[in-house]
Chains A and B, each alone.
Chain A
Amino acid sequence: MDFWFFLIQLLNGVQYGLLLFLVASGLTLIFGIMGIINLAHGAFYMLGAYLAWWLAGVTGSLVAAVLLSLPIAALVGYVIEAVLVRTLYKRDHLDQVLLTYGLILIFNEAQRIFWGNDVHGVAVPQALAWSFKLTETLSYPAYRVVLSVVCGALALVMYFVIAKTRFGMWVRAGASNREMVAALGINVKLLFGLVFAIGAALAGLAGAISTPITSVAPGMGDTVLIICFVVVVIGGVGSVKGAFLGALLIGLADTFGKVFVPDFASFTVYGVMAAVLLWKPRGLFA
């Protein structure tokens, strides 16, 4: 394999990994802090993608659509936490699984009612519809680079917020001991609502900005959800750092799996996960 081809696959793997991180970070925080296994997290990804496609058609600009879909996803997440999820904190994990499973069904049907069964695509914005020329025949699309930069920047912002701010302190404290945070007089209801809304917004954002490179299709949330669970578990549940490394690992494993063993590409992701968990039964950073 020549160097440029390898580089392209490497960039693709990193870009996919960073995108997965946006979804998985919310999932891991929601589980780590609130103890909720949120199956509906993939639905926010789908919501973001459909909103971006629909609003891009209405406003004529993908950037405007992405910026608009972000608060909508956050609001939907906040309302769902406040109305439904909040009633289940004291119940068994499996009750929450069942509730969020019910939410998946409703989200999927709502998507079908509002936007139909068709598969849609979104054009890359005019300003970014060009490529970096690597060799005579190979090039790399600018949009993917921008995507990686945006995701990477967000990961940095997240690191800063979690490591340096008061809110981040609550989040870290919540992830290691939920009861203690409540005992120290922190408004846990607000914290949980915010974490859920931020998680939803991040998943929605990932869905929205990925529209030009994937298709907007029914069921897209389910696929992402399962892959993100893999990421979260590899990294160690509740660990944002773990989710970051897990996401890169899975992004690279998936991309290179498709190159080296195309017949068993889907196998590689799950193989990596099984191997990690047999080596470290609680993930890399738990």
Chain B
Amino acid sequence: MITHIPKRLAILLLVLLVVLALFPLWGKLVFAAKFTFLMQKLTGIMILAILAMSLDLLVGVAGLVSLGHAAFFGLGGYMLALMSPQYDAANLWLVLPAGLAGVAAAALVVGFLSIRTSGIYFIMVTLAFGQMGFYFFNDSKLAGGSDGAYIYVKPTVEAFGTTLVNLDDKLSFFYVTLGVLVGVYALLRVLLASPFGRVISAIGVNEYRVQGLGFNPMAYKLVAFTIAGTIAGLAGFLAATQYGFVNPAMLGWHQSGHVLVMVILGGMGTLFGPVLGAFVLELAHFAFESLTEHWLLPMGVMVIAIVLLLPKGLAGLLLKWTDRKEDGP
């Protein structure tokens, strides 16, 4: 895990953030024809970036490689779908806390059972729980089975009788998602700088030493697992709001694997790396798809090239690059 971000890198990341935040202005001029589509695409990528950051807390910081993380993402989405009245709007101030509480409870139970194992066994147990979640929604009639469920009316965000944000409006939702992305990043940075975060990072490096120092690693791992699951649930909640639709594939191992690839590709334990990973992977996917029908081929070559050439992912490259410049004369 990294704690220090070089100044140049911080500036670079801020510039990227501003470019993203101003997309609704410049995007309209540059990509007039595809603007609406791109707005949706970017919002979707930001949601995946939130999910990737939450997974990084487990994989990159605590050293817990989960292959079932999407289960909490999907569960967050299903929470909204199940709590929304069919033809009415749900109240965000009720469904969001209730939904997140539900996801947190599920993460607590799954985490309690999974953290007993470690290494590849942890990967497989989380996979097993993820697949159980997938089949639960796929096979049961609870929310449309394998067809998924629709959320016809988006939740309202009101205070004292006035609407604060209209989530149906693409532009508003873009900024809501951007706000959540930045907020989650800040929250995780604060968390990692806290004594709790130090212990979690130490567990990722050497669990036995942490135990030797008198901490109970299990309790810390369980809290980290629950926090990560809840943030994933928040991302799923946003995804369900954006598309107005949930389906079991949101919980499946393909989704979990996809997010894990974003984390590794972007650079584990850096928080900003997985965000970059989400953008690079999804934008490359989009670009290759519009170029060729056989887009998986360049995608696979790109992934392999990054593994072979950039041992610490995209973040590793940026860190090396910006650090070297600072060291120079």
Contact = CB atoms under 8 A, between A and B. Distances in A.
Given A101-B261, A105-B300, A88 B307 contact: yes
B308 interface: yes
A94 B268 contact: yes
A104 B127 CA distance: 18
A266 B297 contact: no
A109 B253 CA distance: 20
Contacts of A97: 260, 264
A106 interface: yes
A95 B310 CA distance: 10
B131 A99 contact: no
B128 A109 contact: no
Contacts of B306: 98
A197 to B, nearest CB: 20
Interface stretch (B114-122, B151-159, B224-232, B234-242): B114-122
Interface stretch (A67-75, A135-143, A204-212, A274-282): A274-282
Contacts of B135: 264, 266-267, 270
Contacts of B254: 222
Interface string B121-152: 10011011101100110111000000000000
A87 B307 CA distance: 10
A30 interface: no
Interface in B294-320: 294-297, 299-304, 306-308, 311
Interface in A249-286: 263-264, 266-267, 270-271, 273-274, 277-278, 281-283
A110 interface: yes
A270 B128 contact: yes
B257 interface: yes
B264 A266 contact: no
B121 to A, nearest CB: 6
B127 A229 contact: yes
Contacts of A222: 254
Contacts of B139: 263-264, 266-267
A9 interface: no
B216 to A, nearest CB: 18
A31 interface: yes
Nearest to B303: A102
B277 to A, nearest CB: 10
The A interface, classified by DSSP as helix, strand, loop or mixed, is helix
A112 B292 CA distance: 13
A112 B294 CA distance: 8
Q: Give the interface SS of chain B, mostly helix, strand, loop or mixed.
A: helix
Q: Name the interface size band of chain B.
A: 35 or more
Given A105-B303, A109-B296, A278 B116 contact: yes
B264 A98 contact: yes
A237 interface: yes
A263 B116 CA distance: 30
A37 interface: yes
A193 to B, nearest CB: 19
A154 interface: no
Contact of A233 (B124, B132, B303): B124
B261 A277 contact: no
B17 interface: no
B57 interface: no
A195 interface: no
B113 interface: yes
Contacts of A103: 300, 304
B265 interface: yes
A123 interface: no
B300 A106 contact: yes
Interface string A79-114: 000001001100101110111011111101110110
Interface string B255-291: 0010011001100100000000000000000000000
Contacts of B121: 233, 237, 277, 281-283
A105 B299 contact: yes
A99 B253 contact: no
Contacts of A94: 59, 65, 264, 268
8 contacts: A37-B120, A109-B300, A222-B254, A233-B121, A233-B124, A237-B120, A281-B121, A282-B117
Interface of A: 31, 37, 84, 87-88, 91, 93-95, 97-99, 101-106, 108-110, 112-113, 222, 226, 229-230, 233, 237, 263-264, 266-267, 270-271, 273-274, 277-278, 281-283
Given A98-B303, A229-B127, 4 more contacts: A105-B300, A106-B297, A266-B131, A282-B117
